[in-house]
Structure 1
Amino acid sequence: MMSLTLRLTLLFSLVSVCILAGLGFLIQRSVEQHFAAEDFAEIDDKLDQVISMLEQTPDPINSGDLALMLSEIVLSHSYLVMNIESSTGKMLFESAPLSLPPAHEQQLQPGKRHRSEWSQEGTGYRGITLLHQLNHDTESAVVIRGGIETTRHTLFMQTFVAQLMTFMLLATLLSTLFGWLAVRKGLAPLRVIKARAQSVTAKRLDQRLPIESVPAEIAELGGELNLMLDRLEESFSRLIHFSSDIAHELRTPLSNLMTQTQVSLSQARSCEEYSDILASNLEEFERLSRMISDMLFLAKADNGLQLPSTDKVDMAQEVNKLCDFYEALAEDRQVKLKRQGLGWVHGDRLMIERALGNLISNAVRHTPPGGAIRIEIETHPPYCKVMVCNPGSPISDQDMRYIFDRFYRCDPSRLHGSNEGTGLGLPITRAIARAHGGDVSVTSTIKETCFMLLLPLEYETGSIQKATAHS
């Protein structure tokens, strides 16, 4: 494909050729018109002299001295040709024959000067024909024909046009050269950006394009490319951390399985002991299965999570159902569950149940004994807000920034192999909320930590799209 430099240079050359051609044509026409005006003005002047002489001559048609006086007028101009003919056809004076078209003679009107240009025996002429009525003899008239050869003008124009074409050719070549230099100079920032972009690799995503010393049009493009590099660097960084987290999270259960299996094979054991070991291994397998399932769910969320179904969901009913499910765990930890409020949303029931379950499970794990978890449902069009609040240690500002990142946990249990959670519950909750057109947020104080889940309200004739549009 043709380069941008060559395209702009050719376009600049084409524009220059058009301008020079138009200017050359205008100059040529102006010079030709100037010569024509001078020639006709010269002939008019000679005709005025001839008319004055005819009026001063008593009998111009029969005068013998008229031809001599007219010869002096004509001979004063080397390129002038003239003849005078009476209305009866008598030639009064003729310096050279003039072959005008017959139709031209038929259009003659007394006192009106007819201008014309013609060629005679290869010689070009400009001339004026005049039918003049003699004042002292109203019945007599003469036809005066005057012409000037245009050979000298033709030769001059040929030389002038040749020089003009040479100048235009040189001007076009120079404009093309200067245009190419200007384009290269103008596109120099793009070459700098290209060189910097070539240095960007997966290991050097910190490189940015220079936009401080480039034109505004290119600076805007460079700024957008830098933003793209920022997003790529962030994505690569998240991918690296995600891969590291996956390796870390999978290493613990796999290490447990390998250790237990090696210990069980080190000596003979009873059926009961083998059964206990297999049960322990099954717990680790279940944890691995949940982790893999959660990671697959988040991978789908990254590529645009699609809702399997959309129904009218009674949030109070779902909260009551989940509270009943976690009632035994809450009693075991000496925690109470309190719920209040009503609300209906439009979405997938199972996914909403999973998001609420993650928040309630997280609250139960972090509530100290004797505490109470407060679950409130409120309606704030166009959203239904579900708040899950629990007392306990507040979340630090540092942890608040990463709490919805994958595998991130606020407490140090991650480093000690705790089996409670994998750090994927909150990211899954956020993915589900955003898939429904809502979101999830958290606030934490010394008194309590509250997670707020926003989901689009259910309208009688509405949908998720309608709820999202109002936001």
Structure 2
Amino acid sequence: MTLLAVAVFVAVALLLHSGLKREIERAREHDLEGKIDVVEHLLEEVRSPADVPALTHHLNDVLIGHGQMRIWLVGENGRSLYGGSQPPVLAKTANQLEVVREDGLVMQARQVSIPAHPVLGHQALIVAIDARDQEAMLRRYGNRLAIVCGVGVALIVLISAWVARRSLRPVRQLSEEAAALNPRSLSSRLSPVNTAEVQELVHAFNSALGRVEAAYGQLEGFSADVAHELRTPLATMISSTEVALIRDRPAAELREVLGTNLEVLRELSSLVNDMLFLSKADQGQLADRLDPLDLRDQAEHIAEYFEPMLEEQGVRLRIEGNAKVQGNAGLIRRALVNLVGNAARYTPRGEAIIIELKMLESNAVRVSVRNPGPALAPELLPRLFDRFVRGDPAREKSGSHHGLGLAIVRAIAVMHGGRVFAGSQNGWTAVGLEWPNQRASAPSA
């Protein structure tokens, strides 16, 4: 800002100074031209040698009131006819003609050749003017411009500093508030400000802070849930192993303990694998090997897999519709397994689970698994696909799963560029996923 103010003031000052200088030079040239015209007119009135004294008198009258001006008439023999006993010394510069007066004063001049006069003959007319007063005035004007420019620059700098300090006060306040944020104060938000532009930044920052708080809360909850899921089986293994090692036991009894521990380790391995799969999905990994799929064939394959378990529970499985799309067969089957397994846990005996396959008008496919049963609480639906969230708060019927099934379904949908959905009304619960028929970029989860 300071440099810009200096540049503007200097440019204006130079423009004004050069404009005044041109006007002074133009006025000086006008005065010289005017005196030359007057002298030429007086020379035309000299018709005889008797008129020469009158010429001298008239020339003296011309100079009255013009003490800064001199006139010389120099004959062709170099003799001064008027203006002094000696002709002036002429000096030419790049832009103008200068006259050095007998007292050494340098004056700006104009020289005109007079044609052959019937009385005076050939002669040169020199009109000079003393420009010292004009140059002094120009210097004073320049000095005043410099003072005005300096004062103006100083005022602009002071005003700009005041305005900037006043304008940046909300920014400094917001910077202090942002610097005070830490993981223990993520619920805090930046204070609103009166400046519209800065308020937009505050709103965007607070929105980002809200997302960070939610992500941090999910991370803490995820860590706590992982610890909870790992603690119980690990404690069971440790206890059974300690009991087995208290005294000598038969090989068959030790084999039974090892078999139990092996089942627990397999469950933990499954949990770790699921967590690794979700981690890859969170990092934006997309499904590879997209092949043409007949979803009804995939659903029938899953129905055969669940047939023994569903017969034991007295639950039927029905497939409605068909769709042929591009997808990863392994991932789609895994999503169907999780959806059907989740529905089977909450479907009453004698009822049916429905797998609905449907092509949408937007060239996307929808896979929905519906089952009758208790309605889900509305506040649970938005969190149904979060990790370690179970539909049954009492965690009944949950000994064989860890609450990652629907989170994996969402990850598979995201890896196909799609999304998940869930609804519960009129005694039916529908959970599923949909994705475009062609590969798309993964949407935000």
Looking at structure 1, the residues matched to 267 and 256 of structure 2 have their Cα atoms a distance apart, in angstroms, of 17
Taking structure 1 as reference, are residues 33 and 418 closer, same or farther at Cα in structure 2, changes over 3 Å only? closer
2:428 match: 448
1:93 match: 82
Q: Deviations over 1:370-411 (max 9, x none)?
A: 011111212224212222111111111011121111000121
State the AA in 2 paired with 1:35: I
1:464 aligns with 2:439: yes
SS in 1 for 2:357: strand
Looking at structure 1, the residues matched to 274 and 442 of structure 2 have their Cα atoms a distance apart, in angstroms, of 26
Q: Does the 8 A contact of 1:196 with 1:207 survive in 2?
A: no
The answer to which of 387-396 and 53-62 deviates more is: 53-62
Looking at structure 1, the residues matched to 33 and 318 of structure 2 have their Cα atoms a distance apart, in angstroms, of 117
2:341 match: 361
1:80 match: 69
SS in 2 for 1:346: strand
RMSD of aligned alpha carbons: 3.2
Q: TM-score, normalised by structure 1?
A: 0.83
Q: Does the 8 A contact of 1:123 with 1:151 survive in 2?
A: no
Report matched runs for 1:14-53 at 5 Å.
14-53=3-42
2:414 match: 434
SS in 2 for 1:53: helix
Q: Deviations over 1:63-120 (max 9, x none)?
A: 233223322322542111112346787754224744457999xxxxxxxxxx955364
The answer to which of 272-281 and 393-402 deviates more is: 272-281
Looking at structure 2, the residues matched to 155 and 404 of structure 1 have their Cα atoms a distance apart, in angstroms, of 89
Q: Deviations over 1:281-311 (max 9, x none)?
A: 2222221111111111111111112334222
The match for 1:229 among 209, 215, 232 is: 209
Taking structure 1 as reference, are residues 297 and 60 closer, same or farther at Cα in structure 2, changes over 3 Å only? farther
Q: Does the 8 A contact of 2:365 with 2:434 survive in 1?
A: yes
Taking structure 1 as reference, are residues 60 and 332 closer, same or farther at Cα in structure 2, changes over 3 Å only? farther
Q: Does the 8 A contact of 1:132 with 1:143 survive in 2?
A: yes
The match for 2:172 among 151, 171, 191 is: 191
1:317 aligns with 2:297: yes
Looking at structure 2, the residues matched to 389 and 288 of structure 1 have their Cα atoms a distance apart, in angstroms, of 29
Taking structure 1 as reference, are residues 377 and 156 closer, same or farther at Cα in structure 2, changes over 3 Å only? same
2:60 match: 71
1:210 match: 191
1:238 match: 218
Q: Does the 8 A contact of 2:99 with 2:109 survive in 1?
A: no
Q: TM-score, normalised by structure 2?
A: 0.87
Unpaired runs of 5+ residues, structure 1, are 1-11, 105-114, 458-462
1:389 match: 370
Q: How many residues align?
A: 439
Looking at structure 2, the residues matched to 456 and 430 of structure 1 have their Cα atoms a distance apart, in angstroms, of 14
Looking at structure 2, the residues matched to 298 and 367 of structure 1 have their Cα atoms a distance apart, in angstroms, of 27
How far the C-alpha of 1:315 sits from its partner, in A, is 1.3
Looking at structure 2, the residues matched to 229 and 132 of structure 1 have their Cα atoms a distance apart, in angstroms, of 93
Identical aligned residues as a percent = 29
Q: Deviations over 1:158-192 (max 9, x none)?
A: 34434433443444344334333332222222211
Looking at structure 2, the residues matched to 233 and 60 of structure 1 have their Cα atoms a distance apart, in angstroms, of 113
How far the C-alpha of 1:323 sits from its partner, in A, is 0.7
Taking structure 1 as reference, are residues 238 and 139 closer, same or farther at Cα in structure 2, changes over 3 Å only? same
Q: Deviations over 1:304-339 (max 9, x none)?
A: 123342222221111111110110110110011111
Unpaired runs of 5+ residues, structure 2, are none
